[in-house]
Structure 1
Amino acid sequence: MPVTGLEPYDDQNIFARILRGEIPNKTVYEDECALAFHDISPQASVHVLVIPKGPYVSSVDFAARASDSEIAGFWRAVGKVAAALGLETEGYRLLSNHGLNAGQEVPHFHVHVFGGGPLGRMISANH
């Protein structure tokens, strides 16, 4: 179900269930602040999701409620994932969607890491 606004955190969303170990994933990286795993429906040669371990709906929610150490740890994890996947040389894209117009499907803040080849335009010219 698409996310429509800043809704309360749903602890039954798929990422919350992955964090609790109820749903398996192909882990790329994990530490105390973040979990990174391969997307089950990749949109590029490399498509990894990085999620904070706390219950945050969006980047605004994350920035407002996460501790400084959670925020720093999360963004360090994003960088470690890009480096571990060997994306630094050829380049990569980070993307985070929020809300219905952006196509957010899971109400848990997350960043997509795309790479592995040319990624094309950032957005469609048909806006």
Structure 2
Amino acid sequence: MSCIFCKIINGELPSRKAYESDAVLAFHDITPKAPVHVVIVPKKHIDTMNEVESGTDDAAVAELFQAARQIARELGIAESGYRLINNCNADSGMEVSHLHFHLLGGRNLGALLSKVES
């Protein structure tokens, strides 16, 4: 599989991990758009949110949100605030077809970011 996130999950490419469980991996983005920029992915390859199977993938998707909360607390941005972004398909700006969320924080994000690349 040529998915860059699957290669990171499988240890074929290096990453700076922020969180890991049996179902989820989170790592610091290599081109951060904010002082804190972590990518949170399910270890199971799911192309986009559109392909999430109700009943089958619910626990993994729920854990993505649990991981985001934990990472925000651990990185000290839970109280000041953070943004959680999921892009879905090309028109959203999605560049890696593997379900993922961007966790951004560490500064005022009141204005929309021009583009969060996936």
What range describes the TM-score normalised by the shorter chain of this pair?
A: 0.7 to 0.9
CA positional deviation for 1:123: 6.3
Instruction: Decide whether aligned partners of structure 1 residues 48 and 12 sit closer, same or farther in structure 2, where only a CA change above 3 A counts.
Output: same
Task: Flag structure 1 segments of 5+ consecutive residues without an equivalent.
Answer: 1-10
2:55 matches 1:70: no
Q: Which residue of structure 2 aligns with residue 45 of structure 1?
A: 35
Distance, in Å, in 2 between the alignment partners of 1:91 and 1:63 is 30
Larger RCO (CA within 8 A; separation ≥ 6): 1
Amino acid in the other structure paired with 1:76: Q
Q: Is the 8 A contact 1:63 1:71 kept in 2?
A: no
Q: Is the 8 A contact 1:36 1:49 kept in 2?
A: yes
Distance, in Å, in 1 between the alignment partners of 2:55 and 2:97 is 16
TM-score (norm 2): 0.87
CA RMSD of aligned residues (A): 1.7
Q: Which residue of structure 2 aligns with residue 88 of structure 1?
A: 78
Task: Flag structure 2 segments of 5+ consecutive residues without an equivalent.
Answer: none
Distance, in Å, in 1 between the alignment partners of 2:55 and 2:113 is 29
Where does 1:1-127 land on structure 2 (aligned, <5 Å)?
11-64=1-54, 66-122=56-112
Instruction: Decide whether aligned partners of structure 1 residues 104 and 38 sit closer, same or farther in structure 2, where only a CA change above 3 A counts.
Output: same
Whichever of the two has the greater Rg, that structure is: 1
Q: Give the total of aligned pairs.
A: 114
TM-score (norm 1): 0.81
What percent of counterpart residues are identical?
Answer: 38
Distance, in Å, in 1 between the alignment partners of 2:79 and 2:48 is 29
